[in-house]
Amino acid sequence: MKKLEKGFTQRQLRVGEMIKQALSLIFIRDEAKIPNIDTKEITVTEVRMSQDLKTAKAFVLPLGGKNANNTVEMLKDFSHLVRKVLSKKITMKFLPKILFIKDESFDYAEKIENLIKQINK
């Protein structure tokens, strides 16, 4: 019998928030020199940790959503640079592998808002 998923543990949430803040500082200060991207325009909306804390899914979105797919692909290609800078910011037994994912939550929220507006008309 498979164990039911309970959600995220306090440890996963705490480590995810710590990595989110560190990534935000790295991008704001432009410490990870990623070519052709102004990292100051990247917003880290959420970081979800795996149960073993060895993988971090970082949900990111550039300001205004401009060239979001291109930005995420560049971050994926240069994640090793971001990880290297991150290793100097945080102290963990195992530094997690970072997977950058485009944050779709704003698009989803806008879609829901438009549906509510249509119902109210």
pLDDT in tens, 9-44: 999 999 999 999 999 999 999 888 888 888 888 999
Domains of the chain: 10-120 (3.30.300.20)
Provide the whole-model pTM: 0.81
- Structural contact between residues 68 and 42, judged by C-beta atoms closer than 8 angstroms: no
Q: Please, which pLDDT band fits residue 59 given cuts at 50, 70 and 90?
A: very high
**Higher model confidence: residue 65 or residue 9?**
9
Alpha-helix runs per DSSP H in the chain: 10-28, 68-77, 79-89, 105-120
3-state class of 23 per DSSP?
Answer: helix
Residues 6 or more apart in contact with residue 119 via CB below 8 angstroms: none
CB 85 within 8 A of CB 31: yes
Q: Phi/psi zone of residue 74: left (φ > 0), alpha (ψ -120 to 50 degrees), beta?
A: alpha
Q: What is the pLDDT of residue 1?
A: 39
pLDDT over 70 percentage in the chain:
95
User: Which residue would you say has higher pLDDT here, 48 or 6?
Assistant: 48
d(CA 32, CA 97): 16
Handedness of CA 26, 31, 34, 39 (dihedral sign): positive
Residue 6: pLDDT band with limits 50, 70, 90: low
The whole-chain average pLDDT of the chain stands at 87
